[in-house]
Amino acid sequence: MIDPDLSLADRIADLVAAEALDAPRTRAADRAMVTAFEEALVHPFETTVTFSGGITQRCWTVPRSDGAYRVVYLPRAGYFSLCAESDFGPLCVAGVIALGLCPRPRGIFSQKKRLTEER
């Protein structure tokens, strides 16, 4: 259970740590992905994200950007989302079918888990 006396940033950091601990690590590729993610972690900081239709929302950056993408946490929705970097700031791409992602509650690694289990 996450301590209710923590700041929002600290709660998100604890949630991310729990997700990483629960991530699949059976294959070398799984371990490499989790390790790379953990090495990119930063203390969560506020980020304004733009969604379809120009809607913006306060989110929290979790790992540092790789220059093209970043993962953010949406506290109002309770899930993580993938964003593309742009000249206008992060753009949510969670609904892009080509990426195989959709904007519904899930953890950072759950899409990977589901795809691995289907094989």
- Higher-confidence residue of 3 and 63: namely 63
Query: Six-digit token pair at 61?
Result: 């950056």
Give 33-67 pLDDT, tens digit per residue: 889 888 999 999 999 999 888 889 999 999 998 88
- Which residues, 6 or more positions from 110, have their beta carbon under 8 angstroms from its beta carbon? none
Residue range 6-30: average pLDDT? Answer: 90
Give residue limits of the domains in the chain: 8-118
Length of the chain: 119
pLDDT at res. 95: 56
- Which residues, 6 or more positions from 34, have their beta carbon under 8 angstroms from its beta carbon? 20, 23, 25, 109
Share of the chain above pLDDT 90, in %: 36
Helix (H) or strand (E) holding 14: helix 8-22
